[in-house]
Structure 1
Amino acid sequence: MGVKGNKESITSDAVQLTVSYQSKAVLSISPQWMNPGDSVTLNCEVKESSTGWRFSWYKTVPYRAGLPSLLDKSYSVEPLSGYGTTEESYTLSPAGPTDTGGYVCRAGRGDPVYYTDYSEPQFLWSRDLQSSVSVRISPNRTQHFTSKSLSLICDLKGNSTGWRLMRYTETGVESGCSPNWGSITGSTCTITSTNTGDSGVYWCESGSGQYSNAVNITVSGRSMRQSFYYSEG
């Protein structure tokens, strides 16, 4: 003889969930290519919301465990002097070669304080930079074409160690050369077949956080123009 089991259905109380997008901090720098003595403005904008925020400002440094860092650990960050402001802008004045480098911002509000993530880094370049690290391109000419070979060479002087080649393109900051966009031999990164996505600013960084001069490259199907700022040390 079979026995049928009883089934009981129980419904819990309803719970309402509210899902909202995280506000995003976006940094801009003007001008990004500076002459000594220029006044440089950092502006931090919070997308999706614009009231009640307090802004914090940072300079990027080589990644070190234990320091506040970007999510991808590409850089750690150190606060700028007077880094907490209610204004959306922060001014470097007068700016000089030592201000060369990357910057990020973030914003917070409320009690307890809710913080946005750090912004994507933006970079400030000096036209009068003397450093123990320099970057050169080969062939060194004003016009290049897609599907051609291009080499970037990091020249190291003194005790600079742990250098890395960096570039800033329309997709953001990229590092490592190989295997990301080229192959590396010694201190030379070679792009065997250039394309328009290789357009951007290239530079070298030492393990101690020094920046080289920067090379601004534009790649197109017809020509490539470069702006090459170099100071002999």
Structure 2
Amino acid sequence: MRVEQIYDFAAGFYDYLFGRAFQHGRERSTGHINARAEEGAKILEVGLGTGLSLPLYRSDLRITGVDISEKMLDRARRRVESKGLGNEIRIVNMDATALQFEDNSFDFVVAMYVASVVPDPAAFLSEISRVCKVRGEVIVVNHFASSNRWVRAFERLLAGLESVIGFKSDFPLEEVLNFSGFQLIRSERVNAFRYWHLLHFRNAPQTPVAFPASRLAYSSAA
């Protein structure tokens, strides 16, 4: 089953399963953007889903949200209308690995719970770096493969069900940390059991990095 089919199917119950469960990560991500963005800054949210994050952004920010699932986006559009979120929100059906925006289009790019979902993570990372302005900021929130060997063994078992559950349960943290062009600003653990990571980067294309996950220092999630 393709990713869009999985999430089209899940659209009707996604909020019930993952609304409150993932809200802390949404609040932390949008909180960082709200605190750092200039008035009228352009924000791209990749993997918008049903738009649970949209009410959390400052009202002056110009938000573009993209997702590959049209049924998820239908719910996001209804959320914008029902909550009266204004005209500064644009919602578009789009593949995260082939974004249809010009280079250097956005001040901030945020991708929550997307990195382990896309079929080509390298293309996804390249695209969000490309459309983010040089020296702009990128926030990635995701579950990554655990360093605990027992948990990791379970994650590897789940990995065989990727076509059913819609994500890679054993997705490596290093794939994002070592992406050439991202400079780490901060990292923190979010959501239940602090099982998910929030990684906040400066977009610096062509800047080589090598950042072993074992040396990652986490800031407190205040």
Higher strand share goes to which structure? 1
Q: Which category of TM-score, normalised to the shorter sequence, fits these structures? A: under 0.3
TM-score normalised to structure 2 length:
0.26
Higher helix share goes to which structure? 2
